[in-house]
Amino acid sequence: MTPRSLFARVTLIMVVGLAIAQLLTFAAIRYERGIALRELMMSGIERDIASSIAILDRLPAAEREAWLPRLERRNYRFMLGGEVAGPQPQPGTSQEFATAIVDALRPFAVVKVAQAAPDDLQVQVKMRDGSTVVVHARRVGIPVSNWVLWVLVLQLAVLGLCAWFAVRLVTRPLARLAEAADELGPDLKGRELAEEGPSEVAHAARAFNAMQRRIAGYMAERVEILAAISHDLQTPITRMRLRTEMMDNEKDQLKFRQDLDAMHALVREGVTYAKTLHGATEPPCRVDADALLESMVADYEDAGQQVLLEGRIGAPIVTRPNALRRIVVNLVDNALKFGSEVRMRVRVEADRLVVAVTDNGPGIPPDQLEAVLKPFYRVESSRNRSTGGTGLGLAIAHQLATAMGAQLSLHNRAEGGLEARIALTLQQDLAP
C-alpha cells in the first residue's frame, strides 16, 4: 500500500534505497571475501594436507591414531584405513580443489578422489608402508561476527533518522503553506507565512503572502462595488414605489408594485450576500440551540406556515447564533417555496451537530445540486421571481456555513423532495 503523504513517500524511498545500497555493499564485500578465502585455501590447504600426510607416514603405525586430533583442522581431517566411495568431483571449483590436493600429495599415491557432498571431498592416499589414509577436505564458509550485523542495523537506523530529518526539513514548509491556504476563509484574512528559511522556502512564502494580499484586495473591491450598487438602488426603488402609489390605473399599479417588490428583494439579498463575503465577524458564544430552533418554528407558526421540528440536542453548544439562524431560515424558506410538508430534523453525531431541512417538493436535478449553491443560480427555466427567488438564498447559507466552519450539502430524497443538511462541529473547547 503506497503512503498518501509526500513526507511518508519520500522517507520510504530514501530509507529503502539506502537499505538496498547497504545490502548490496555487504553482499559485494562477502563475495570478495569468499573469493579471497578460496584463493587462500587453494594455495595453502593442499600444502598443509601434504605436510600432515608426510608426518603420518614417518610416524610408527601404533602412534598414528594419537596424532590424528593434532593434525585435524576446521576444513580437513584424517581417517586411518577405509576406502573412498562416491562420484568424481564436479567440474568447477570442486574439481580445481581436488586437482590442487592431488598435485600437492606427490610422491604419495592417490588411490581415489570422490565428492561426498557439494563442499566435501574424500581423498584416499596410500602411504609408503602400504596403509591408507582417507582425507576429508571441505570448503568452509566465511564466518560473520554478530557485531557486524548489529553495526549494519545501527547504520541503517542512523541513515533512516537522517533521511527522516532531511525529508521533514523539506516538506515542513509545504505543510505550513497548505495550512495557511486552508485557513484562508471567505473573509480572505488568513495568517501570513514567515518569510524565512532557505531561499526557495522564503521565496515561496513571499509569493504566497503577496498572492493572498492581491486576492483579498480584488475581492474587497468587488464586494464594495456589489454592496454600493445594492445599497444605492434602494433609493430609486423607494421613489418609484411612491410614484406607483400615485398611479390611477390599478392594473398597471399592481404590475409595477410586483416588479418593485422583486427588485427590492434582489437588492436586499445582494446586500446580505455582500456582507457574508466579508466573513464571520460574529464571535462564537454558548447558546441553547434547542430554544433557538424552537423559536424559529414558532415564528413560522405565527406566520401561518407549518414547520415540524424533530429531535433535540439536549445541551448548550458554542456557535455563532445569528449565522446559524440565518442559514436555517434560508433553508426553511427555500423548502416552503417548493414543498407543503417541511420538517427540521436535529441530531448529534459524535462531535457534530446535524440540522436537516426536508420537504416534499420536486427536488433538484442531480447535476445541479452543486450549482444551486452559487449566487444568482436558479433551477427554474422560467426565471420567475415569485417561485424561483433571487438565487441568493442558498448561496448566502452556503457562504455563512463556510465562514463558520460548517458544511452545507443538498440531497434528493428517495421518497421525493429535497434534504438540505448542515453539519457543524461542536466547539465545546470554546465554551466558558
| Domain harbouring 26, CATH code | 3.30.450.300
Give the rounded percent of residues in the chain with a pLDDT score beyond 70.
82
Q: What is the CATH number of the domain that holds 330?
A: 3.30.565.10
Nearest one of 356, 329, 362, 353 to 343, comparing CA atoms: 356
Q: What residues contact 327, with CB distance under 8 A and at least 6 apart?
A: 397, 400, 401, 406, 408, 422
Same domain, 314 and 402: yes
Q: Is residue 177 part of a domain?
A: no
Whether the predicted pLDDT of 301 surpasses 80:
yes
Per-residue buried b or exposed e for 122-160, using 16+ beta carbons within 10 Å of the residue's own CB: bbbbebeeeebbbbbbbbeeeeeeeeeeeeeeeeeeebb
Task: Report d(CA 34, CA 38) in Å as an integer.
Answer: 6
Count of domains forming the chain: 3
Consecutive H or E run containing 333:
helix 321-338
Query: How many Cβ atoms are within 10 Å of 404's Cβ, its own excluded?
Result: 22
Task: Report d(CA 385, CA 228) in Å as an integer.
Answer: 23
Nearest one of 143, 104, 111, 150 to 127, comparing CA atoms: 111
Owner of C-alpha cell 569468499: 34
Task: Report d(CA 60, CA 69) in Å as an integer.
Answer: 16
Q: What is the CATH number of the domain that holds 231?
A: 1.10.287.130
Q: Is residue 170 part of a domain?
A: no
Whether the predicted pLDDT of 58 surpasses 70:
yes
Whether the predicted pLDDT of 337 surpasses 70:
yes
Q: Is residue 173 part of a domain?
A: no
pLDDT at 188: 59
Same domain, 200 and 307: no
Nearest one of 313, 310, 317 to 348, comparing CA atoms: 313
Q: Is residue 174 part of a domain?
A: no
Same domain, 251 and 309: no
pLDDT at 248: 76
Q: What residues contact 420, with CB distance under 8 A and at least 6 apart?
A: 331, 334, 335, 356, 357, 358, 394, 397, 408, 409, 410
pLDDT at 270: 67
Same domain, 360 and 224: no
Whether the predicted pLDDT of 382 surpasses 70:
no
**Domain final position from 138, 172, 199:** 138
Same domain, 262 and 286: no
Q: Is residue 344 part of a domain?
A: yes
Same domain, 110 and 193: no
Q: Is residue 348 part of a domain?
A: yes
How sure is the predictor about 57, in pLDDT bands with cuts at 50, 70 and 90?
A: confident
Of 155 and 149, more confident = 155
Whether the predicted pLDDT of 112 surpasses 80:
yes
Radius of gyration for the chain, computed over Cα atoms and rounded to the nearest angstrom: 45
Query: How many Cβ atoms are within 10 Å of 168's Cβ, its own excluded?
Result: 13
Report yes or no: 36 and 200 within 8 Å, Cβ to Cβ.
no
Report yes or no: 357 and 344 within 8 Å, Cβ to Cβ.
yes
Of 244 and 276, more confident = 244
pLDDT at 174: 74
**Residue 193 CA to chain centroid, in angstroms?**
23
pLDDT at 361: 86
Whether the predicted pLDDT of 127 surpasses 70:
yes
Same domain, 247 and 289: no
pLDDT in tens, 159-184: 888 888 877 777 777 777 777 777 66
Cα dihedral sign, 299-304-307-308: positive
Q: Is residue 322 part of a domain?
A: yes
Residue ranges with strand state E in 185-293: 285-287
Q: Is residue 159 part of a domain?
A: no
Whether the predicted pLDDT of 253 surpasses 60:
yes
Same domain, 286 and 262: no
Rounded to the nearest 10°, the torsion over CA 363, 366, 369, 375 is -90
3-state secondary structure of 411: strand
Whether the predicted pLDDT of 262 surpasses 70:
yes
In sequence order, the β-bridge partners of residue 317 are 287
Least confident of 54-58, 193-197, 339-343: 193-197
Whether the predicted pLDDT of 391 surpasses 70:
no
Nearest one of 272, 260, 259, 262 to 231, comparing CA atoms: 272
3-state secondary structure of 138: strand
pLDDT at 6: 65
Report yes or no: 139 and 73 within 8 Å, Cβ to Cβ.
no
Q: What is the mean pLDDT of residues 353-365?
A: 89
**Domain final position from 279, 294, 321:** 279
**Domain final position from 100, 115, 138:** 138
pLDDT in tens, 5-50: 667 777 777 778 878 887 888 788 777 776 666 666 555 677 788 8
In sequence order, the β-bridge partners of residue 349 are 352
Q: What residues contact 18, with CB distance under 8 A and at least 6 apart?
A: 156, 159, 160, 163
How sure is the predictor about 194, in pLDDT bands with cuts at 50, 70 and 90?
A: confident
Report yes or no: 303 and 297 within 8 Å, Cβ to Cβ.
no
Same domain, 189 and 285: no
Same domain, 70 and 121: yes
User: Three cell numbers at 383?
Assistant: 426565471
Query: How many Cβ atoms are within 10 Å of 375's Cβ, its own excluded?
Result: 18
pLDDT at 357: 92
Main-chain dihedrals φ then ψ at residue 304, nearest 5 degrees: 80, 20
Same domain, 292 and 254: no
Same domain, 312 and 408: yes
Whether this model's pTM surpasses 0.75: no
Whether the predicted pLDDT of 430 surpasses 60:
no
Whether the predicted pLDDT of 389 surpasses 70:
no
Q: Are strands 109-117 and 120-126 parallel, antiparallel or unpaired?
A: antiparallel
Nearest one of 101, 123, 431 to 286, comparing CA atoms: 431
| Secondary structure tally for the chain: helices H, strands E | 10, 11
Whether the predicted pLDDT of 406 surpasses 80:
yes
Whether the predicted pLDDT of 115 surpasses 60:
yes
Domain extent at residue 27 = 6-138
